[in-house]
Structure 1
Amino acid sequence: MNISLKFSARYFILAILLLVTEILIAVYVHDAIIRPYIGDLLVVILIYCTVKAFINSPVLKTAIAVLLFSFLIETLQYFKIVEVLGLQHSKLARVIIGTSFEWVDIAAYIAGVLVVLFAEKLAGNLK
């Protein structure tokens, strides 16, 4: 596997735009679809773009690693990691880590990775 440190302005800009979008969703959107599901879909894309902004790595392996990381975070939510770490009173920790396991979140993460793979295929980065 060919992995190296390399800055990518394109992925960095995408990551910043996605971060701003996620913050706007968290602050201003309080619905039953966009915040919980589209937010989860976008966060996987955000993590992917952040990784690719600094690390030159294969698309598929990076997407799978991001998906597995997302699954890990969701599993930690199942085990109430925020409370275990004593961070239940930290709004930031509760927002970033999350507090409740849901199978539909797993589906949103998978959908996010599929969007990444589709976009990378369209861009010619995935053979």
Structure 2
Amino acid sequence: MTLLVQYGFCYAVEFLQWINVLSLFNLSRSRLIDVVTGTTFSWLDMLCYTLGGVTVVIVEFGRDKKGTKKTKAI
């Protein structure tokens, strides 16, 4: 579930960059908004988010198989 939330957030930010939402709301001149949201869409970012999530899943399944105590995510 946590992974889905992470993917949803990351992909939403990239989508908003792709449609250039900052220009739509006339926020493109705000330096703070630029730093927080980023300014350009990148397929490489999408790939990195996906690979990062897959890596977490692999590590977590590996820990579960070794008998490591499973903790519940908040």
Cα deviation, residue 99, structure 1: 1.4
Quick check: which has more Rg, 1 or 2?
Answer: 2
TM-score by length of 1: 0.45
Gaps of 5+ in 2: 65-69
SS of the residue corresponding to residue 100 of structure 1 reads coil
Residues 33-72 of structure 1 mapped to structure 2, 5 A cutoff: 61-72=1-12
The one-character-per-residue Cα deviations of 1:83-107 (angstroms, maximum 9, x if unpaired) are 2222212222112211111111110
Cα deviation, residue 76, structure 1: 0.7
Gaps of 5+ in 1: 1-60
Residues 27-38 of structure 1 mapped to structure 2, 5 A cutoff: none
In the alignment, the residues of structure 1 paired with residue 22 and residue 59 of structure 2 have an alpha-carbon distance, to the nearest angstrom, of: 33
SS of the residue corresponding to residue 39 of structure 2 reads coil
In the alignment, the residues of structure 2 paired with residue 87 and residue 102 of structure 1 have an alpha-carbon distance, to the nearest angstrom, of: 20
Partner of 2:27: 87
SS of the residue corresponding to residue 86 of structure 1 reads coil
Residues 1-127 of structure 1 mapped to structure 2, 5 A cutoff: 61-124=1-64, 125=70
Q: How many aligned residue pairs are there? A: 66
CA 1:92/1:116 → structure 2, altered by over 3 Å: closer, same or farther?
farther
Q: Percentage identity across aligned positions?
A: 28
8 A Cα contact 1:88 1:94, kept in partner: yes
CA RMSD of superposed structures (Å): 2.1
In the alignment, the residues of structure 1 paired with residue 22 and residue 3 of structure 2 have an alpha-carbon distance, to the nearest angstrom, of: 26
Q: Larger relative CO (CA 8 A, sep 6+): 1 or 2?
A: 2
